[in-house]
Amino acid sequence: MLQNKKSPNEIDFEIGRRIKSRRNALGLNQQHLAQRIGVSYQQVQKYENGTDRVGAARLLQIAQALDVPIDFFYRVGDGDDPEHGDERSIEDFQIQRALAQEEGRELILLFASIKGASFRTNLLDIAKALAESDKGKRP
């Protein structure tokens, strides 16, 4: 029996699950994501439930809004830790993005030049506080 090409399938459900998981990890509600990608919150709900398929252009918008690479939605975990495979993918992407920016490379070099462990710890505490206060804000 031929499957209707418009009907969602297992991949659509998995993509929806990953959208919801990442959205929640960022502390965004469906309305916030909807505003970022130009759809209603009901449409985001349909994507997350897998009841509506996500087109390629829309998935790219979602990836950008959720600050993940597009393959985040398709990646298969490496097998050793299925619970955290997606989180490692996001961290890898963020590290690569930081290294691609001059400020990121400079920060890493400066951090590496700090000899005192307490100074490095203080700098990490400052960075964590700044990152937390900046959560959910978009330039």
Segment 41-59, tens digit of pLDDT: 999 999 999 999 999 999 9
What residue spans define the domains of the chain? 10-82
Question: Is the C-alpha dihedral spanning 35, 37, 41, 42 positive or negative?
Answer: positive
For residue 2, pLDDT over 50 is answered with no
Contact 66, 23 (CB under 8 A): yes
The model's pTM: 0.57
CATH number of 10-82: 1.10.260.40
Interatomic CA distance for residues 41 and 43, integer angstroms: 5
For residue 101, pLDDT over 90 is answered with no
